[in-house]
Structure 1
Amino acid sequence: MQVSKSSALALCFLILGGCASAPQNTAKSTAEVNSVQAPKEPELASELARGEKVTVQTSQGPIEIEPTVVAIGDGGQPGTEQGGEPVYNDPWEGFNRAMFSFNNVSYRYVLIPLSDGYKFVVPGVVRDKIGNAFDNLREPLNLVNNTVSGEFSHAGSNLGRFLINSTIGLLGLFDPAEAWFDIAPQKQTIANTLQDYDITSGPYLVIPILGPSDTRGAFSTLTEGFVHPVNYIADPPERYQLRMFDGLDDFSEQSDIYQQLYDQADDPYIYFRNQYIQGQRRDELFELSDSEQQNNE
């Protein structure tokens, strides 16, 4: 069913206008923010690489990050050692470094200024509701991926969340499905589905604007661009505007941390690559552990 030009967005922002003045129960007071003392010259990148918990000061207050560091190997091939450190085989490093540099320039001079302006104009409580609405719009895609993966209980959660949040939650602006019915989000991408069928991640790949990924993730991103539910509720150019707005909303929550980590890393490309790979390995180990636990039950 097609909506008229920007009518859905008009309704969303009309409701959000009333939410903007609502108190934020979860917001930290000025005293609480000031009580968190960041270390002098914290060297966040080095500390994160060692798996240490760090506090990042952002425009929205301090954020604690506690990574899970996993050994870096080479996607199914034997890794090599250099000075006792595992070395990742990066066959497309030349292209990836060029794309990483392009992305950094795009972030610094385009996306970060836009993100700062967005955060200045749109209150945090409103940005939170906007993120909820986009997450809810994605639920049908999560449902399909979980169904194909055989995760039928998760697919049921996706269906329940979409029906509840689209109605009681006012087009997904609020999340009564979790708050009232304890139905937790169960996000599933095409990449996750391929992983469930033992499709390996492939070489590391930096995607224009979107950043760190791999060949499996790049295929997932491209495919989801064609089948995303937003394609069925809006026509071009509104469709593309919604997707770009969704991307800006997501990026705005990460822009402060990105700048600090980039500026403090000795080699930003290697640092962000290794953090991505470690995250992938951590998720794979978690999925394996969860699967083994279910089999034992």
Structure 2
Amino acid sequence: MTRTDGINDPYETTNRKIHAFNKGLDKNLVRPVAQGYGYVVPVEIRNTVNNFSDNLSTPGYAVNSLLQGDLASAGVSVIRFVMNTTIGLGGFVDAASELQIADRKTDFGETLSVWGAGEGAYIELPLFGPSTQRSTAGLIVDFFTNPLTFATIEDVPERYVPPVSKGFAGLNNREKFSDTIDSVLYESADSYAQTRQIYLQNRRFELGENSADDFDPYEDPYAQ
């Protein structure tokens, strides 16, 4: 059922178990690997990997913008992809941003929101972390709506490039925002509740769905 604070979490018992798994995985694997990645690999190289990963996602942004009826954003995404793939050396250089062509990141979860689909229940996914039923459906559909999925799936070596680049980008982000993430996971009174609160607040802000009773996403609801 939906609580008075606007959080719909009927699967909290299961979610907490998955959160405990994700937290243990972060503590014993992801965090130390991210720290090692940040220590060994210069930040300039890590940023180019992030640029490359973002560029691979850009065709999907264009498709979702079209599905949302946002032709302008779809056109911008196409322009960014062409520019970054060509003069940006395959996407390792964000040439479009340097030319002040801002990106428009979106996903099928947002497309569903534009179409009027409800947020659904909060769920925490193994490995992927916090989500909702709507965003989870969008995550699955996004795999198929990105044209690059089908362009690389038959080429055995190349088909691993997108997930591998996303993995390294994730490690870079884990290292880059380590202070904030560590604070939430290891210093809050209830890391599950605060993770849920931060995710829902930020996601609703992205989609323009903030409720009238806004709350501070970084306020620990269980702190004494």
Distance in 2, matches of 1:199 and 1:219, equals 11
Indicate the residue corresponding to 1:247 in structure 2: 167
User: Mind listing any 5+ residue stretches in structure 2 that lack a counterpart?
Assistant: 212-224
1:269 to 192, 217, 220: 192
Aligned positions of 1:1-40 closer than 5 A:
none
For residues 275-296 of structure 1, the C-alpha deviation after alignment (integer angstroms, 9 at most, x for no partner) is 11111232233799xxxxxxxx
Distance in 1, matches of 2:203 and 2:55, equals 25
Indicate the residue corresponding to 1:284 in structure 2: 207
Shift of 1:213: 0.4
Computed over aligned residues only, the root mean square deviation of the Cα atoms, in angstroms, reads: 2.2
Give the aligned residue type for 1:155. Answer: A
1:126 to 16, 23, 45: 45
From the superposition, tell whether residues 164 and 244 of structure 1 become closer, same or farther in structure 2 (CA, over 3 Å). Answer: closer
For residues 161-195 of structure 1, the C-alpha deviation after alignment (integer angstroms, 9 at most, x for no partner) is 11111111111111221212x21101120111111
Indicate the residue corresponding to 2:66 in structure 1: 147
Shift of 1:230: 4.6
Task: Return the TM-score normalized by structure 1.
Answer: 0.64
For residues 58-98 of structure 1, the C-alpha deviation after alignment (integer angstroms, 9 at most, x for no partner) is xxxxxxxxxxxxxxxx8xx6x42xxxxx3633100011001
8 Å CA contact retained: 2:120, 2:133: yes
Q: How many residue pairs align between the two structures? A: 206
8 Å CA contact retained: 2:109, 2:134: yes
Aligned positions of 1:35-184 closer than 5 A:
79-80=3-4, 86=5, 88-180=7-99, 182-184=100-102
1:207 aligns with 2:207: no
Shift of 1:259: 1.7
Shift of 1:231: 4.7
From the superposition, tell whether residues 168 and 145 of structure 1 become closer, same or farther in structure 2 (CA, over 3 Å). Answer: same
Q: Whose strand fraction is larger, Structure 1's or Structure 2's?
A: 1
8 Å CA contact retained: 2:122, 2:131: yes
Percentage of pairs with the same residue: 30
Give the aligned residue type for 1:247. Answer: G
Q: Whose helix fraction is larger, Structure 1's or Structure 2's?
A: 2
Distance in 2, matches of 1:284 and 1:135, equals 20
Q: Secondary structure of the residue that 1:206 maps to in structure 2?
A: strand
Q: Secondary structure of the residue that 2:189 maps to in structure 1?
A: coil
8 Å CA contact retained: 2:18, 2:126: yes
For residues 217-275 of structure 1, the C-alpha deviation after alignment (integer angstroms, 9 at most, x for no partner) is 11111222344425523534653464044123224323513122212110100010011
